[in-house]
Amino acid sequence: MVPASELPAEKPVSKGDFRQTAQWRIFRIMAEFVDGFQFLADIKKSVTVFGSARPKENDPHYEQARVLAKMLAKLGYSIITGGGPGIMEAANRGAVEGKGESIGFNIQLPEEQRINEYVEKGIGFHYFFSRKLMLSYSAQAYVFFPGGFGTLDEFFEIVTLIQTKKISGKIMVIAVGREFWKPLFDYLENVVYREHAGIDKEDLKIYELVDSAKEALELIKKSKPREIII
């Protein structure tokens, strides 16, 4: 497997190129799925970290993500992120500092590789949906720090997969940062559940809310290694 950091940037495809055909794209999608699941098969004990790409080193959420990943790495967990900056960089950095496995699921872009310097093992994807699928099947615990649309999208993706039993309900989903997540969780409980019956009461137990890396660590230590079942 070629590390994501060594993958060449995507080159523009000229009009009429056979790589623009639907058939070629189908084969490319299949190849990404095969490579992705093969890559995941060798990762037995892992935690995936999501969060905004915007925080810098002096941001408290960046520091919490770094500290959590460092503690997890020392306990033998592999740390997986989307490979980008911000919270992703912080988690990969913590994994390196904890002398653990630092993994990034990179997305290939025409002009650049959005990958942080702390990713030591990675795989690159052309399609966002291929990358998202692999992230959804990558870990025994998912940790969500504050973020934007992408982070929220991933949060609801994982929660929905657990709710619909497409992935195991034993997988842990942890949101870090009460000031960010509690208004959303209050809305889910008071409006979506109580006022509109859009979800069941049990669905509110799919995720946990904590305020610190230490709290998240204690929950993760209770999680079980995950089997990849397609």
Which pLDDT value is given to residue 15?
61
Does the pLDDT of residue 170 top 70, yes or no? yes
In whole numbers, what is the pLDDT of the chain averaged over residues? 89
Give the pLDDT mean for 13-30: 75
pLDDT band of 21, cuts 50, 70, 90: confident
pLDDT band per the 50, 70, 90 thresholds, residue 157? very high
- Report the range of poorest mean pLDDT among 11-15, 122-126, 182-186: 11-15
First and final C-alpha spacing in the chain = 21
pLDDT at 197: 98
Q: Give the residue, 39 or 48, on which the prediction is more confident.
A: 48
Q: What percent of the chain is modeled with pLDDT above 90?
A: 68
Residue 19 buriedness (CB in 10 A; 0-12 / 13-18 / 19+):
exposed
CATH of the domain spanning 19-220: 3.40.50.450
List C-alpha distances in Å: 140 to 106, 130, 134.
20, 19, 13
Of the chain, the percentage scoring pLDDT greater than 70 comes to 87
Q: Which residues, including other chains, have CB under 8 Å from residue 135's CB and lie 6 or more apart?
A: 48, 80, 82, 105, 154
Q: What is the pLDDT of residues 42-100, one digit of tens each?
A: 888 999 999 999 999 999 999 999 999 999 999 999 999 999 999 999 999 999 999 99
Q: Where are the domains of the chain?
A: 19-220
192-210 pLDDT, tens digit each: 999 999 999 999 999 999 9
Tell me the longest C-alpha to C-alpha distance in the chain: 55
Q: What is the model's pLDDT at position 4?
A: 44
Q: Which residue intervals of 21-148 are DSSP H helices?
A: 22-41, 60-74, 87-97, 128-136
